[in-house]
């Protein structure tokens, strides 16, 4: 197998999604957050959402991981982000996936499929693609559904670049 091993983003399992999570609706703002020039915000709520219903499509196949490293920075995945991954989704070319090979920890990469080989690409130009020759044993075991950091801290698990 011809694989470059400079992954620089590893994942730490947090655990599976709950099979029967408690319903915990959170307030949902009545207005959308403007991404351009801000407009005056309305100060009222428009119903509620449950993050389990919003983020988890298939509970038995959904797991959470914490990302470590900066190789997926341009895909919006930063050191310390939480990843919700779904093992029931069949990965296709261009998906952000979790993969393992040669006993490595799971790596978060962009999957590129070719007729004779596969590649795992970082979303950071400082990291070269990982190229696997045909017949290499690589397990692409989950598609990343959501990547978000709940809280950014100056100290703790989030490292500066």
Domains identified in the chain and CATH numbers: 10-16+58-148 (2.10.109.10)
What is the pTM for the complete model shown? Answer: 0.68
Q: Which residues of the chain have pLDDT under 70?
A: 1-12, 14-15, 17-21, 23-46, 150-161
**DSSP 8-state secondary structure symbol assigned to residue 94:** T
Residues labelled catalytic: 71, 109
% of residues, the chain, pLDDT over 70: 65
Tell me: the pLDDT tens digits for 106-115?
A: 999 999 999 9
């Amino acid at each position: 197998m011809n694989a470059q091993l400079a992954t620089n983003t590893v994942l730490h399992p947090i655990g599976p999604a709950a099979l029967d999570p408690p319903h915990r609706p959170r307030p949902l703002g009545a207005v959308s957050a403007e991404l351009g020039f801000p407009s005056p915000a309305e100060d009222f709520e428009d119903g509620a959402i449950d993050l389990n219903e919003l983020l988890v499509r298939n509970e038995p196949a959904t797991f959470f991981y914490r990302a470590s490293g900066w190789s997926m920075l341009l895909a919006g995945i930063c050191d310390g982000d939480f990843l919700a991954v779904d093992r029931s989704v069949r990965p296709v070319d261009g998906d952000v996936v979790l993969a393992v090979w040669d006993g490595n920890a799971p790596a978060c990469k962009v999957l590129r499929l070719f007729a004779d080989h596969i590649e795992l690409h970082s979303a950071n130009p400082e990291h070269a693609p990982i190229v696997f020759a045909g017949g290499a044993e690589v397990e692409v075991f989950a598609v990343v559904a959501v990547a978000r950091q709940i809280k950014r801290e100056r100290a703790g698990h989030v490292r500066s670049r």
